[in-house]
Amino acid sequence: MPFYDLNDAPEQRADGVIPDGTYAAVKMTLRPGGKNVDGCSGHDIGLFKASSTSDVMYLDVEFTVISGPHQGRKIWQPLTVTGGKVGEDGVESF
């Protein structure tokens, strides 16, 4: 995998990033991946995604800010449910 150093990248938006420490009301949306985790209930069928490089199964989550100065902004986050390894730096590998 190539390494990209984005430390000197220009701003992508005129209003910049949401500042660290900002509290915001958000709506969480699960973006279904079509996979299942062993033992999941009928309500959870098809919600998970599988990593293409490991045994990780995760939820693909999208958060949308619903009020305040950052209303409408989106944040995407994979939430690991099962599998994977934790490296020496404490970060799970996909």
Query: What pTM was computed for the model?
Result: 0.70
**Is 18 a member of any domain?**
no
**Is 20 a member of any domain?**
no
User: How far is residue 81's CA from residue 47's CA, in Å, rounded to a whole number?
Assistant: 11
9's CB contacts (< 8 A; 6+ apart) are none
**Is 31 a member of any domain?**
no
**Is 90 a member of any domain?**
no
Percentage helix, strand, coil for the chain under 3-state DSSP, each rounded to 5: 5, 35, 65
User: How many domains are there within the chain?
Assistant: 1
> What confidence category does residue 26 fall into, taking pLDDT thresholds of 50, 70 and 90?
very high
Tell whether the model's pLDDT for residue 35 goes beyond 90: no
Averaged pLDDT of the chain: 86
Query: Containing domain of residue 65, as a range?
Result: 37-82
Closest CA to 50 of 16, 75, 21, 83: 83
Q: What are phi and psi of 13, to 5 degrees?
A: -135, 150
Q: Between vectors from CA 37 to CA 28 and to CA 56, what angle results, nearest 5°?
A: 80
